[in-house]
Amino acid sequence: MSKPLSDHDRKKQISVKGLAGVENVSDLKKNFNRHLHFTLVKDRNVSTKRDYYFALAHTVRDHLVGRWIRTQQSYYEKDPKRVYYLSLEFYMGRTLQNTMVNLALENACDEATYQLGLDMEELQEMEEDAGLGNGGLGRLAACFLDSMASLGLAAYGYGIRYEFGIFNQKICNGWQIEEADDWLRYGNPWEKARPEYTRPVHFYGRTEHHPDGVKWVDTQVVLALPYDTPVPGYRNNVVNTMRLWSAKAPCDFNLKDFNVGGYIQAVLDRNLAENISRVLYPNDNFFEGKELRLKQEYFVVAATLQDIIRRFKASKFGSRDIVRTDFSTLPDKVAIQLNDTHPALAIPELMRVLVDEEKLTWEKAWDICTRTCAYTNHTVLPEALERWPIDLFQSLLPRHLEIIYEINRRHMERVSSMYPGDTDRMRRMSLIEEGGQKRVNMAHMCIVGSHAVNGVARIHSDILKATIFKDFFEMDPNKFQNKTNGITPRRWLVMCNPGLAEVIAERIGEDFIRDLDQLQKLHDFVNDEAFIRDIAKVKQENKLKFAVHLEEHYKVKINPNSMFDLQVKRIHEYKRQLLNCLHIITFYNRIRKEPNKQWTPRTIMIGGKAAPGYHTAKMIIRLITAIGEVVNNDPVVGDRLKVIFLENYRVTLAEKVIPASDLSEQISTAGTEASGTGNMKFMLNGALTIGTMDGANVEMAEEAGDDNIFIFGMRVDDVEAMDAKGYNASEFYNRIPELKQAMDQIAGGFFSPKQPDLFKDIVNMLMHNDRFKVFADYEDYIKCQDKVSALYKKPKEWTKKVIHNIAASGKFSSDRTISQYAREIWGVEPTLEKLAAPDDLN
């Protein structure tokens, strides 16, 4: 019998990792050593593991540069319509492995580092996550960048280069503690500062109205310094750009109005200006109306629009000569996509530039503005909608407030001409909300100022049209579209789950990586014994690998034959981690009641960050950890149930845990989760889903078939009916003994014996003011979980359903999503053609 292949030798056989040609490997080794000795170490004798990581990163980056220059050059020569994706968040994670995958360098780099006596996986672990996002919205932007490059679109991601990204989460004595994410501490090999494109951004001041137009004067200036990160497409030699702005005080900051002896203080005060790009606001689906946040929103928009207009005016590559002065063609050359309302100020800012600076008439400018901009809505939760106080606007952006008033005046005129005398409709549709303090409703501004408005899953888009944007839909039905979210199969299959990618490629070839619909061919293998075995084997290997990771990092031993049951996402009441907790407690009580029954063993893992100011979310984490302390130390239970809170859930941890999971928990109250994208990642990686009819789960069930997904709970109609009649939690509490028992345990201190009333706030919320109706879905959820457990006992049937899911997941590629945005909103055509490689590369 031949000896089993080492991990390294096995990786060499995985074709999706690219070919490791001899010349290629020896070139990589040469370049690696050159970077190690000349770029990095220089006067040090010893190299650290971090030096080796940086040497590898620079070596791989060298392969991007020629393609990057060539791509940008081709855009200047062909002058295509350009797409600008504006987002306050880009949750990129790590870059090294993704770049190797997209450039087909992974096997060659693995071989080169191996020959140099290094372990590539260890080097990859040295890279910091670029955590410039909170969750779904920021990660979606990152997937979109990958797809736009892979589809050959002339696209740019524009955002903020936060010095501190999403906080690192530590769990101390069961509580979440936040730590600053100093991700740039050792430098970032993937970015290139472009100081030559620095732009001024103005704040405060006042407006002057003259016969020849309006001037915004006496402003404070902050400089926006751009940093460019390459975004490689999948093996097509296209490299697009993500440009992130960093705030810098101008040299004369606070020194022009010099107060004698104030020089030192003036220099110290530069920090105030530079705070704009200091830190990411850590709220997911929650609006916090802080001045610094509004400054961030205007900062990214003002700098980006200057860039867009400079590029529109300039002609050929490398030339800054102004050639275009006619702005009427702007919508033919520029598409601006607003990722939620955070960059909504692009609308009044574009109007300001066109009217005040370029001297266009209002009508002409408005036509250009609406045909250029489009808006994506990401939530219907009222607490998440941006409504900025008017006085904050008046102080920070006085000219923009005037422009918003004028947009609203004309908008109200149109409403009243279409619906004469309907003052209530006018009040509902106004950009300015009266009552208490006046506020600007940013979503309304986005709808009025855009030619397309989209939700992010079919059910979400339907809810927008039927509820929060109903009036706007009635007035402009053609403005509203759906673009169901997707994920990039490069990061979320090929990179994070090479074993599965290889098993698939052996059956249907490698083309599915650029055309994920081809996974449908796997339906032919649902009854193929060898394929069923291979799929199950890959899952088991991934579970063993993750079990080792858990033991190393969390010191917990888990049963790799148990079902890995996962709920990983931001902690929020609407996502109902509490419903999961109630199932855990119920399952625990059942095992204790009948310890000799053949229970299906589970390892239940919950992970995610709570916004630092969100008290309930932090208590939910404390409850999960408390349940774990009791369950994991009960000898009666043994290894049939383990509860683990996954600390510091982030992109890099997702890449490890998703390939190892059996069950994906997507259990938000119907009508609250706009789409979800984690749900798609689990589906693609061979987990089955237990979920409500919410967000993209609806379309997942449609694609995979109702028999291959575990759907439970109220539908949107049921939730609305219950709202109408009134939700009464105690009705369920008194009727369902297992629910009562679980709640009494939480309330009575069973999980917190030293502090019996620790969870009184959670109990009180669930019993008396639970907006998300946890108890209403409890019974059906428990029954559904029983079905899950029963099926898991039949591994072959389970794996067949897994194959059905993988085969049906093609729709959820972000390539499909972006192709639809391109054709139906931006008016550009995606292409799978390869760009010619630069001369010095093959």
Catalytic residue numbers, as ranges: 378, 569-570, 575, 677, 681
The Cα–Cα gap between 444 and 430 comes to 7
Buried b / exposed e along 258-279 (16+ C-beta atoms within 10 A): eeeeeeeebeeebeebbebbeb
Residue type at position 808: A
The Cα–Cα gap between 706 and 684 comes to 17
What are phi and psi for residue 269, nearest 5 degrees? -70, -10
Residue 66 CB-density burial (10 A; 0-12 exposed, 13-18 middle, 19+ buried): middle
Tell which residue, 444, 323, 430, 428, has the closest CA to residue 377.
Answer: 444
Instruction: Label the pairing between strands 663-666 and 563-568.
Output: parallel
- DSSP secondary structure string for all residues of 441-486: EHHHHHHHT-S-EEESSHHHHHHHHHTTTHHHHHH-GGGEEE----
Tell which residue, 686, 663, 653, has the closest CA to residue 499.
Answer: 686
Sign for the CA dihedral angle at 366, 368, 369, 375 comes to positive
The Cα–Cα gap between 728 and 730 comes to 6
Give yes or no for a contact between 340 and 300, defined as CB atoms under 8 angstroms apart.
Answer: no
Residue 760 CB-density burial (10 A; 0-12 exposed, 13-18 middle, 19+ buried): middle
CB atoms within 10 A of CB 24: 19
> In Å, how far are 304, 369, 416, 664, 827 from 831, measured between CA atoms?
26, 27, 45, 34, 13
> In Å, how far are 7, 533, 682, 819 from 536, measured between CA atoms?
19, 5, 15, 33
The Cα–Cα gap between 671 and 669 comes to 6
